[in-house]
């Protein structure tokens, strides 16, 4: 027996339940639902072969609910009371914020909407989440009218299915099945940060669940199918109402003012970089606590700051979600905790690099655009590799900043090439990480596959830190660290890895690097290249931002998959496949071209 949540449906006249009841109901729903049964309830009349086909392609992933706590601490207490782990990061939810602003006539800046995804387990112990959107409504706030209306209507509540092994044919078939049973398109989008595509639908009138919106999530870039889906989505499902309530002290923006505000927000992006860098430099995260608040004078004394200056910085950081403010003072959020130097996968070195050496060179971006010469070179009179080599402290900071992107590597040890090497019979297989930094990636690969051996090739000055890291990971006895450059790629290994190397260089230098790898590779060896890929069109992408960074700081570039395929081909290699990773990265799999492998 699968119970249903008890919160009100849109249009019902029953009183709106409290947030804890709604959270508890959503959590119970996620824990209890069986995917085939749920699909048949979402789409009444779905049975037989079509139900089996959908069940083979979809799995229930989460349910979402919008709640209205007075602050983040109260939210986490409510989650804990419902048995929902509340230790994940709370991030801004721009989409829900903008929908609420449009429905209720508020400026988006007045609404602080956050999102948390506490994990729960399904009936067969499968991993699922409750997607919790939270609009902060302090006591006495004028936002209480929004909370009352939204609690009663529950417009943001939805349930979601993940699509297994999506491809265009599968997605079109799934969307057609939902449409046949009365579901209507209701928006969607592509998220380059996750490399995933979302399709929203309105459930049919006869649906037997409390949810009126359905999400289908497909990993990868499926914008061709998305465009067809969006063509059937109403252009303005939640238009702003002329008499919608709004704060009386905030006048409506004129159409002419909106572009000016947009441009001002863009122009102040540099301030955000510097605020985060200052937070890291002052070691504010180390002086703060994620559980107990600290007041400004206490923090100022701890970090050696002027109290008023620190108060201004903290207020700005609170707007970014890096710290939060409560009755007992400021405390660190999970996002801000990543700037703590002692945190696992700390991003403090990255903040110091982006707010320091790389930030300074961006003052010369116009020069880089005019001349093609990196701004860094103009500022320092030499390229950044030579500059860092003469400054050991800066070089060490750069190496640590590269390790800050460790989440990029999380899926890579599971790549089929590495799994096949680890399970191959006979002698132990060897993985060579070319220019592997301090060993973060190679250490993860060897940890995941005890049967593999490793070789890390790096500059001599980096190797002590690499040996220490590999030893700390418990794989030092299976990995040798060799000094050298790209001309010294070891011969005869089974898998070669180039992670975030090629984007530092122009095509000529890339071809040189790849030819050294190809010359060292046996006929049956594999090459994995980890890089961000530029989209084939002008759609938003992290790679687009990094392309600008490479232009200004290294003289390198990001590339499309087709561009990499051409460069591989010029070096006797063939692009065999591509798999998405985190943070917009991909693992490109290359092998020797048949004629090269045959010695021709």
Instruction: Cite the active site residues.
Output: 503
Q: How far is CA 595 from CA 280, 527, 568, in A?
A: 52, 17, 14
Query: Among positive and negative, which fits the CA dihedral 273, 279, 281, 285?
Result: negative
Q: How far is CA 510 from the centre of its chain?
A: 28
State how beta strands 213-219 and 196-202 pair: antiparallel
Q: Which phi and psi angles does 423 have, rounded to 5°?
A: -105, 5
> Which secondary structure element, helix H or strand E, spans residue 188, and what is its range?
strand 184-191
Q: How far is CA 397 from CA 72, 91, 306, 400, 566, in A?
A: 34, 27, 27, 5, 34
In terms of C-beta distances under 8 Å and separation of at least 24 residues, what long-range contacts does 196-201 make, across chains too? Answer: 196/220, 197/166, 197/221, 197/222, 197/223, 197/225, 197/226, 199/171, 199/175, 199/225, 199/226, 199/229, 200/158, 200/233, 201/175
Q: Write the DSSP assignment of 537-566 as a string of letters.
A: SS---HHHHHHHHHHHHTS---B-HHHHHH
Q: CB-hemisphere CA count at 13 Å for 270? A: 10
Q: Are residues 216 and 198 in contact, defined by beta-carbon separation less than 8 angstroms? A: yes
Residues in the chain: 600
Q: Are residues 94 and 82 in contact, defined by beta-carbon separation less than 8 angstroms? A: no
Taking the C-alpha atoms of residue 251 and residue 271, their distance in angstroms, rounded to an integer, is 26
152, two tokens: 């009663």
> Which secondary structure element, helix H or strand E, spans residue 162, and what is its range?
strand 158-163
Q: Which phi and psi angles does 63 have, rounded to 5°?
A: -125, 150
Q: How many other C-beta atoms can be found within 10 angstroms of the C-beta atom of residue 109?
A: 12
Closest residue by Cα to residue 334 from 134, 132, 115:
115
377, two tokens: 């070179």
In terms of C-beta distances under 8 Å and separation of at least 24 residues, what long-range contacts does 11-16 make, across chains too? Answer: 11/153, 12/152, 15/152, 16/148, 16/151, 16/152
């Amino acid at each position: 027996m699968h119970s249903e949540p008890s919160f009100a449906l849109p249009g019902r006249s029953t009183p709106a339940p409290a947030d804890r009841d709604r959270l508890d109901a959503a959590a119970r729903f996620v824990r209890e639902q069986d995917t085939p049964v749920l699909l048949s309830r979402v789409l009444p009349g779905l049975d037989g072969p079509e139900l089996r086909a959908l069940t083979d392609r979809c799995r229930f992933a989460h349910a979402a609910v919008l709640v209205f706590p007075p602050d983040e601490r109260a939210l986490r207490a409510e989650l804990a009371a419902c048995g929902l782990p509340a230790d994940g990061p709370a991030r801004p939810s721009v989409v829900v914020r903008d929908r609420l602003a449009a429905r209720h006539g508020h400026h988006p800046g007045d609404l602080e909407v956050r999102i948390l995804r506490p994990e729960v387990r399904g009936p067969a112990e499968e991993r699922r989440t409750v997607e919790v959107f939270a609009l902060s409504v302090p006591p006495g706030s004028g936002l209480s009218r929004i909370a009352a209306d939204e609690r009663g209507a529950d417009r943001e509540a939805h349930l979601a299915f993940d699509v297994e092994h999506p491809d265009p044919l599968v997605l079109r078939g799934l969307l057609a099945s939902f449409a046949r049973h009365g579901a209507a398109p209701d928006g969607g989008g592509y998220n380059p940060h996750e490399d995933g595509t979302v399709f929203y639908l309105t459930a049919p009138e006869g649906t037997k669940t409390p949810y009126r919106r359905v999400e289908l999530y497909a990993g990868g870039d499926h914008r061709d199918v998305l465009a067809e889906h969006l063509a059937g989505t109403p252009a303005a499902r939640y238009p702003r109402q002329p008499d919608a309530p709004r704060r009386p002290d905030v006048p409506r923006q004129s159409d002419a003012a909106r572009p000016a505000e947009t441009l001002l927000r863009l122009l102040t992006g540099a301030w955000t970089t510097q605020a985060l860098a200052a937070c890291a430099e002052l070691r504010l995260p180390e002086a703060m606590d994620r559980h107990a608040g600290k007041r400004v004078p206490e923090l100022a004394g701890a970090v050696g700051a002027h109290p008023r200056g620190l108060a201004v910085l903290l207020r700005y950081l609170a707007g970014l979600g890096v710290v939060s403010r409560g009755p007992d003072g400021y405390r660190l959020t999970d996002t801000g905790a990543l700037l703590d130097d002692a945190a696992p996968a700390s991003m403090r070195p990255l903040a110091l690099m982006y707010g320091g050496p790389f930030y300074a060179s961006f003052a010369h971006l116009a020069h880089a655009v005019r001349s093609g010469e990196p701004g860094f070179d103009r500022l320092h009179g030499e390229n950044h590799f030579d500059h860092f080599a003469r400054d050991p402290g800066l070089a060490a900071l750069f190496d640590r900043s590269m390790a800050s992107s460790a989440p990029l590597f999380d899926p890579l040890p599971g790549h089929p090439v590495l799994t096949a090497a680890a399970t191959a019979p006979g002698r132990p297989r060897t993985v060579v990480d070319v220019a592997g930094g301090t060993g973060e990636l190679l250490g993860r690969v060897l940890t995941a596959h005890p049967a593999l051996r490793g070789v890390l090739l790096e500059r001599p000055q980096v190797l002590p830190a690499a040996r220490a890291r590999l030893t700390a990971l418990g794989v030092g006895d299976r990995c040798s660290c060799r000094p050298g450059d790209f001309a010294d790629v070891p011969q005869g290994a089974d898998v070669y890895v180039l992670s975030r190397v090629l984007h530092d260089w122009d095509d000529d230098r890339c071809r040189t690097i790849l030819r050294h790898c190809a010359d060292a590779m046996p006929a049956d060896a594999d090459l994995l290249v980890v890089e961000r890929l530029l989209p084939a069109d002008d759609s938003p992408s992290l790679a687009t931002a990094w392309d600008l960074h490479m232009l200004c700081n290294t003289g390198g570039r990001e590339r499309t998959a087709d561009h990499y395929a051409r460069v591989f081909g010029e070096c006797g290699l063939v692009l065999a496949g591509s798999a998405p990773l985190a943070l917009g990265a991909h693992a490109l799999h290359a092998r020797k071209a048949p004629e090269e492998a045959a010695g021709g």
